[in-house]
């Protein structure tokens, strides 16, 4: 029996063959398609064939299939597109159907810049703590004091 969510789900329509997609690979539990709004050339989505909103709700077999396909396609991306790395993240929020983003990422592109900024933010608390030390506070105060 098809649920209301499945009737309105674009990924379920793709799996059923009622909506078009650029299919890259599939097995009995998963399918890989090109993202129609790519961040970079070759940006793919690996989707579960069963309508499941969150990846951690998949069966062990579905999860294994999903990540096995992601690994296979990422390897193909590395061989053919030659990115610096393939970014992977799991989604299901905007379209509540488990899907993995596979995005070939290159030095200086939008995702590389995002990750560099995120890493700097991740590392920044240590530098911010340093700003609270007495000598750092005295230095900042001396620089800003009106004379």
**Which residue segment(s) compose the domain that 128 sits in?**
107-147
Start-to-end CA span in the chain (Å):
78
Same structural domain for residues 102 and 116? no
pLDDT of residue 3: 59
pLDDT of residue 2: 59
Same structural domain for residues 64 and 120? no
Q: Express each pLDDT in 99-138 by its tens digit.
A: 999 999 999 888 888 888 888 777 777 777 788 889 988 9
Spatial CA neighbour of 65 closest among 49, 42, 53: 49
Beta-strand ranges (E) seen in 30-133 are 30-34, 44-48, 85-91, 99-105
Same structural domain for residues 116 and 100? no
Same structural domain for residues 62 and 81? yes
Q: Which token pair is 131?
A: 């700003």
Q: Express each pLDDT in 5-57 by its tens digit.
A: 556 899 999 999 999 999 999 999 999 999 999 999 999 999 999 999 988 89
């Amino acid at each position: 029996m098809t649920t209301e969510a499945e009737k309105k789900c674009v990924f379920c329509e793709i799996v059923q063959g009622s909506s078009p997609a650029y299919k890259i690979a599939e097995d009995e539990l998963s399918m890989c398609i090109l993202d129609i709004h790519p961040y970079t050339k070759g940006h793919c989505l690996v989707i579960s064939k069963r309508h499941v909103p969150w990846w951690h709700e998949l069966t062990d077999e579905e999860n294994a299939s999903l990540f096995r396909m992601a690994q296979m396609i990422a390897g193909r991306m590395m061989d053919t597109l030659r990115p610096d790395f393939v970014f992977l993240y799991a989604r299901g929020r905007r379209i509540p159907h488990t899907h993995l983003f596979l995005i070939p990422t290159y030095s200086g592109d939008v995702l590389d810049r995002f990750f560099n900024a995120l890493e700097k933010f991740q590392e920044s608390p240590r530098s911010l703590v340093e700003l609270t030390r007495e000598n750092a506070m005295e230095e900042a105060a001396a620089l800003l004091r009106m004379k």
